[in-house]
């Protein structure tokens, strides 16, 4: 493909993408294909000779789109959104054109410097404590990772190494210290809650440490509390185990609950303060790294009405949020902020002779390869820059507030039919969790769960909208999250009418 052919193909492709978005609501939100559908449509071997772009492009409609779940559809309400925008797409296009591994500053200085700048912009927009700024008092800063799971795995590795390094600092012999670290590592435990995303458990598997979940309860709004955390830490210490890491959550996956961050910080200030002496760290009383996972709900921090949630973050070690969920930057783009960059670089920095250059040696530049597990990295900050400049902070605030209002409207609609629905939690951060109401007060939890499950299955089978379900506190519930870019007020009424019809059908026994 030469430059002229590329120009023609690009124009045709953009026209097709625009048409796709213009007509996305007309497509069933879920594909109807069966597993293995694509193998039947494609040849067994790669083509020996090149094909014309026009022939390749035809296969988008005939072979690719039948297997697409339409995440940008206003009828997609499942899980959390994976939003996008045209400015972000343009950023990806330019990034692909400028492609490079970008593992250190000299690879392309703008890749590093723009990332630092836009993350500082967003840290200020989110009202994060100054310790998370690249120019802050603690040598903190932000870095773009692919996903929250990657960010959590990264900080857990950094937390593990920091804990073990401090616990064995008194050992001067290198082999003896290596043996002590290996022994101590067998006692390490990472904590989350029973509402924490599975990313924390997976990170513990990667880091080679144990994982335990602090229980959450309906009486506490399904949020982790300091009191329950203390019980877990005390129980683990009694068994000779050492807690080194905790994921707290701002917006849990099931219900968008916010863990009781203040009480968590207060408990840890007592049982694992940063001011522990070297002797205490040596004896198994090390500091506990706290990472705040705000993968979805963190986007709402762009609005001042949520800024009251951020001061407590100064008491923790790291924070992440995904722009690709709710802030119009297409997948993948997860922001990770740390209070002190040295915690990452001490754990993840590896130097090779081939990487040596005057700029890195000067200490005046950031090499983001030392802030992540992968070596190479993409120019993700370009799409972030395009989105911020296109919408402005006020435009991003309006985007969040629109969806918050839609969820409040939906919650109000549920309240108009108390004979059909019961709200479990929310609306909170544009998420409402609800279940079907039984005809009789004598109905058991199991019976209500069965009714809700049947209603949910009916909606999915109908295919007009796509929602996800969950189980919280033993309750089977339906999640409604109208946070995709193209959802409008009339769609919310449509969603509600579909759910009403399905619930009425279930309760009538049809």
- Write the pLDDT tens digit of every residue in 452-489: 999 999 999 999 999 999 999 999 999 999 999 999 99
Residue with structure tokens 């609800």? 434
Q: In Å, how far are 31, 78, 334, 506 from 460, measured between CA atoms?
A: 12, 11, 30, 14
Its pTM stands at: 0.93
* Residue burial 205-234, b: 16+ Cβ < 10 Å; e: rest: eebebbbbebebeeeebbbbbbebbbebbe
**Cα–Cα distance, 319 to 337 (Å, whole number):** 5
Strands 431-436 and 475-480 turn out to be: antiparallel
Residue 435, strand partner residues: 422
Task: Give 95's pLDDT tier (boundaries 50, 70, 90).
Answer: very high
pLDDT surpassing 90 at residue 73: yes
SS (H, E, C) 28-42: CCCCCCCCCHHHHHC
For 192, phi then psi, to 5°, come to: -140, -160
Mean pLDDT for 440-452 is: 93
Q: Pick the closest to residue 149 from 371, 336, 384, 343 (CA basis).
A: 336
Sign of CA dihedral 498, 500, 502, 504: negative
29 confidence band (pLDDT: 50, 70, 90): very high
Q: Give the DSSP letter string of 343-379.
A: HHHHHH----GGG--HHHHHT-S--GGGGSSSS----
Neighbouring residues of 301: CB distance < 8 A, sequence distance ≥ 6: 125, 126, 127, 128, 294, 307, 309, 310, 321
Average pLDDT over residues 13-38: 94
The number of beta carbons lying within 10 Å of the beta carbon of residue 504 is 14
């Amino acid at each position: 493909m030469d430059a002229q052919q590329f120009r023609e193909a690009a124009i045709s492709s953009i026209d097709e993408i625009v048409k796709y978005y213009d007509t996305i609501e007309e497509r069933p939100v879920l594909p109807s294909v069966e597993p293995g559908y694509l193998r039947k449509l494609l040849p067994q071997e790669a083509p020996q000779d090149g094909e014309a772009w026009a022939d390749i492009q035809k296969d988008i409609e005939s072979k690719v789109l039948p297997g697409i779940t339409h995440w940008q559809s206003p009828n997609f309400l499942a899980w959390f959104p994976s939003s996008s925008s045209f400015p972000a797409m343009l950023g990806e296009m330019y990034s692909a054109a400028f492609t490079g591994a970008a593992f250190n500053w000299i690879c392309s200085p703008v890749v590093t410097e723009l990332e630092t700048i836009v993350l500082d912009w967003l840290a200020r927009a989110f009202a994060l404590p100054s310790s998370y700024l690249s120019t802050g008092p603690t040598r903190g800063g932000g870095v773009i990772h692919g996903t929250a799971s990657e960010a959590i795995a990264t900080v857990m590795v950094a937390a593990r190494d920091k804990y073990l390094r401090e616990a064995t600092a008194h050992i001067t012999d290198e082999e003896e210290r290596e043996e002590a670290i290996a022994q101590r590592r067998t006692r390490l435990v990472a904590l989350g809650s029973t509402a924490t995303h599975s990313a924390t458990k997976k990170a513990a598997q990667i880091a080679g440490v144990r994982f335990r979940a602090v229980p959450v309860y309906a009486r506490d709004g399904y949020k982790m509390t300091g009191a329950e955390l203390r019980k877990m830490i005390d129980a683990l210490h009694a068994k000779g185990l050492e807690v080194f890491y905790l994921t707290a959550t701002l917006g849990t996956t099931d219900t968008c609950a916010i863990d009781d961050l203040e009480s968590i910080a207060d408990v840890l200030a007592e049982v694992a303060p940063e001011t522990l002496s070297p002797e205490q760290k040596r004896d198994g009383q090390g500091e506990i790294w706290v990472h705040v996972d705000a993968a979805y709900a963190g986007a709402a921090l762009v609005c001042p009405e949520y800024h009251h949630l951020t001061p407590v973050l100064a008491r923790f070690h790291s924070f992440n949020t995904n722009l690709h969920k709710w802030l119009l930057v297409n997948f993948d783009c997860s922001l990770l902020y740390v209070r002190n960059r040295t915690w990452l670089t001490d754990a993840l920095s590896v130097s090779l002779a081939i990487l040596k250059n005057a700029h890195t040696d000067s200490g005046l530049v950031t090499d983001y390869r030392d802030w992540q597990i992968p070596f190479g990295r993409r120019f993700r900050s370009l799409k972030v820059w395009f989105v911020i400049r296109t919408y402005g902070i006020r435009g991003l605030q309006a985007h969040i507030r629109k969806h918050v209002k839609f969820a409040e409207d939906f919650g109000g609609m549920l309240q108009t039919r108390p004979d059909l629905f019961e709200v479990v939690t929310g609306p909170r951060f544009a998420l409402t969790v609800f279940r079907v109401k039984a005809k009789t007060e004598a109905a058991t939890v199991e019976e209500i769960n069965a009714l809700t499950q049947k209603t949910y299955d009916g909606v999915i089978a109908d295919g007009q909208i796509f929602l996800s379900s969950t189980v919280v506190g033993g309750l089977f519930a339906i999640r409604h999250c109208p946070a995709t870019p193209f959802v409008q007020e009339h769609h919310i009424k449509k969603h509600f009418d579909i759910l009403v019809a399905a619930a009425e059908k279930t309760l009538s026994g049809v």
